Amino acid sequence: METYKRLFKYTPEKIHCAYISIVCSIAGVALQIGAFWYLWKFLHALLVSKNIKDGGFYATVIVSLMIGYTAVYFAALWASHLLGFRLESNLRKEAVKHLMNASFAFFDVNPSGKIRKIIDDNAQDTHMLVAHLIPDNVSALFTPLFMFAVVFAVDVKLGILLTVIALIGGVQTYWMMGDRTFMQKYQTALEKMNAEAVEYVRGMQVVKIFKSTVESFKAFYEAITGYSDMAYKYALSSRAPYVLFLVLFNLFTAFTLPFAVYFMNKGADGSLIVAQIVFFVCIAGVLFSSFMRVMYVGMYNFQAKNVIDKLENLFTDMEKDNLVHGTEESFEHFGIEFKNVSFGYGEERILRNVSFTLEPNKTYALVGSSGGGKSTIAKLISGFYKINEGEILIGGKNIASYSKNALMKNIAFVFQASKLFKTTIFENVKMGNPNASDEEVMAALRLARCEDILNKFEKREHTLIGSKGVHLSGGEIQRVAIARAILKNADIIILDEASAAADPENEYEIQQAFSALMKNKTVIMIAHRLSSIKNVDEILVVEDGNIIERGSDTELMKNGGKYSRLQTLYSQANEWKV
């Protein structure tokens, strides 16, 4: 019941469908068992009373009851499916709402394949579970009760025999369902394999280029073998009880014949015994079906709890590191200050007690070895990460005091691997400012040096990216992303190695676009190409989560420290030839 409450709280507007399904399911069970009661009447009239007229009447009643059963069972399924579809839809909406509010840190540590599988598969499973859970649960509960009442009314001896079968069947069903912890491990192995499969398919280009086999992808291969082992163990554990279950049910039906002979030798009415045997054989099939349904209901209930646990755990993880944003909408200035900031994922610390100040309308570069914390510093400025210690100020105020809208409006990112959506170039740029006019969008494209890109296509800015073979190079994608940032007109610009993957021609165009983007802005650049940062106002050298040097290119080269060594290595790398 607790599982149902947790599921149905996501669809309060359709909860009446659950009650309709329950009522119709109970009515369906009553009509079905009523048909069996009249089946006994029919058999008694034909075989014992030899009353054809009454037999015809009972046959008509049986057909009417089964038609009624079909109608109300359809209504029960219709209502439960409506509830299931709405629940699936609402859970997806709830997941998207949580995704939109999740901290950036959540996406850093959770692969997209894992997130998608948890949301898509479990939301879909809730529909399948709820659509059949209510009718099957009601049927599994009420069918045996009504059936025993009918059988005992027909004959106490048959009722006792049916009770013995039911007890043995119950034990066998429980045995088949197995250990809940084992089922949990089985489900976990299945989900791990599915998540790894998504990541594997996303890397298919690399797989084909290097002719890699699935065995070379350790995580995916281990997930497959792990699931295979669990599935094999599950099949083995279920084999013996299931076979025994089938054998015993078939044998019990056969056992009625010796009993029939025994009672007929004792002087019982042969016609009555035959009628009872036929009735028992018919209703034993319903009993078998009921036990199979009980088994599936047990599995459904386990899966329902498992599904809602996974979704709500995901929602909790999304909310765990969320920032509580304030209400400030305006900035006094766009200077940035870190005060004793420490940050990490879990127990791993990436930044340790970092302090520095960046003046407004100046350009800064962050350099250093990979993994030193450059990108982390840039990410924290966005205001969408929860720091462990210290505070970050923009315009002299704590970043947490600003509203989410204010931060999103005034901070723009251009990443190393920028993302364009499968829509037109125009729409991709307009995402930077949905309220911009067409002229402003085109001006941003010109400032980002995108004219040569547009000239390649017949529909120019209205060309649909990803359709009919339309694909942009990495450098071209960067320029479109820069146009988007220009249109946004944010006062703080963060460039995360934005030209690292560009060829020389594209890099020149990108640098020209940067000039338009960075005008009168507070700019933080992360760069591996040290030649591109010599003219910035100040360079900060990041190493092991700390700022170890700071100054202009000339000052840092004179100091002969880490930056000077990086420049030397960079020059040597440029001179290297095959």
Q: What would the DSSP string read from start to end of 420-436?
A: --SSBHHHHHHTT-TT-
Q: Are residues 203 and 276 in the same domain?
A: yes
State the pairing for strand pair 538-543/363-367. Answer: parallel
Residue 26 belongs to some domain of the structure:
yes
Domain coverage including residue 306: 2-319
Q: Are residues 226 and 364 in the same domain?
A: no
Tell me the H-state helices in 203-330.
204-209, 218-265, 270-320
Q: Which of 128, 153, 173, 154 is nearest to 287 (CA)?
A: 173
Q: Are residues 230 and 351 in the same domain?
A: no
Rounded distance, CA 506 to CA 517, Å?
16
Decide which of 286, 319, 352 is a domain's last residue: 319
CB-CB neighbours of 189 under 10 Å: 20
Residue 330 belongs to some domain of the structure:
no
Residue 190's CATH number: 1.20.1560.10
Q: What three-state secondary structure class fits 211?
A: coil
Q: List residues bridging with 522 in a β-sheet.
A: 492
Stated pTM of the model: 0.66
Q: Are residues 103 and 252 in the same domain?
A: yes
Q: Which residues contact 13 (CB under 8 A, 6 or more apart)?
A: 86
Give the pLDDT of the chain (578 residues) as one tens digit per residue. 677 777 778 888 888 888 899 899 999 989 988 888 888 888 888 888 788 888 889 899 999 999 999 999 999 989 988 888 888 888 888 888 888 777 777 777 777 767 777 787 777 777 777 787 778 778 877 888 888 888 888 878 777 877 777 777 667 666 665 556 666 677 777 777 776 776 666 666 555 555 555 555 667 777 778 778 777 777 777 777 777 767 776 666 666 667 666 666 666 667 777 777 777 777 777 777 777 776 666 666 777 777 788 888 888 877 776 667 778 888 888 888 888 888 887 677 788 888 888 888 888 888 877 777 788 888 888 777 778 888 888 888 888 888 888 888 888 887 766 777 888 888 888 888 888 888 888 888 888 778 888 888 778 888 887 665 567 777 778 788 888 888 888 888 888 765 554 555 555 666 666 666 677 788 888 876 666 677 788 888 888 888 888 888 788 888 777 777 777 776 665 555 44
Output phi, psi for 178, to 5 deg: 75, -170
Q: Are residues 436 and 294 in the same domain?
A: no
Q: Which helix (H) or strand (E) holds 538?
A: strand 538-543
Check: CB of residue 552 under 8 Å from CB of residue 524: no
Q: Are residues 253 and 390 in the same domain?
A: no
The two tokens of residue 538 are 């100040």
Check: CB of residue 245 under 8 Å from CB of residue 174: no
Residue 548's CATH number: 3.40.50.300
Residue 198 belongs to some domain of the structure:
yes
Check: CB of residue 505 under 8 Å from CB of residue 524: no
Decide which of 260, 287, 319 is a domain's last residue: 319
Rounded distance, CA 205 to CA 200, Å?
10
pLDDT at 68: 93
Q: Which residues contact 333 (CB under 8 A, 6 or more apart)?
A: 360, 395, 396
Q: Which long-range contacts (CB under 8 A, 24 or more apart) does 454-460 make?
A: 454/425, 459/424, 460/425
Check: CB of residue 276 under 8 Å from CB of residue 162: no
Q: Are residues 425 and 315 in the same domain?
A: no
Q: Are residues 136 and 218 in the same domain?
A: yes
Question: What's the total number of domains in the chain?
Answer: 2
Decide which of 289, 319, 349 is a domain's last residue: 319
Place of tokens 């054989």: 281
- Give, in degrees to the nearest 5, the angle at Cα 450 between 445 and 454: 100
CA distances from 296 to 137, 188, 533 (A): 9, 19, 65
| Percent of the chain as helix, strand, coil, to the nearest 5 | 70, 10, 20
Q: Are residues 110 and 236 in the same domain?
A: yes
pLDDT at 425: 85
Angle between helices 270-320 and 156-177 (to 10 degrees): 30
Buried-state track 399-414, b at ≥16 Cβ within 10 A, e below 16: bbebeeebbebbbbbb
Q: Give me the sheet containing 522-526, strands edge to edge.
A: 411-414, 492-496, 522-526, 363-367, 538-543, 546-551
Q: What three-state secondary structure class fits 147?
A: helix
Q: Are residues 306 and 357 in the same domain?
A: no
Check: CB of residue 35 under 8 Å from CB of residue 52: no
Residue 325 belongs to some domain of the structure:
no
Q: Which helix (H) or strand (E) holds 443?
A: helix 438-447
Cα of first residue to Cα of last residue in the chain, in angstroms, is 71
pLDDT at 578: 47
Residue 568 belongs to some domain of the structure:
yes
pLDDT at 508: 63
Rounded distance, CA 120 to CA 11, Å?
17
Residue 228 belongs to some domain of the structure:
yes
Residue 443 belongs to some domain of the structure:
yes
Q: Which residues contact 371 (CB under 8 A, 6 or more apart)?
A: none
Residue 368 belongs to some domain of the structure:
yes
Q: Are residues 216 and 309 in the same domain?
A: yes
Q: Are residues 21 and 130 in the same domain?
A: yes
pLDDT at 507: 59
The two tokens of residue 254 are 């056969």
State the pairing for strand pair 522-526/492-496. Answer: parallel
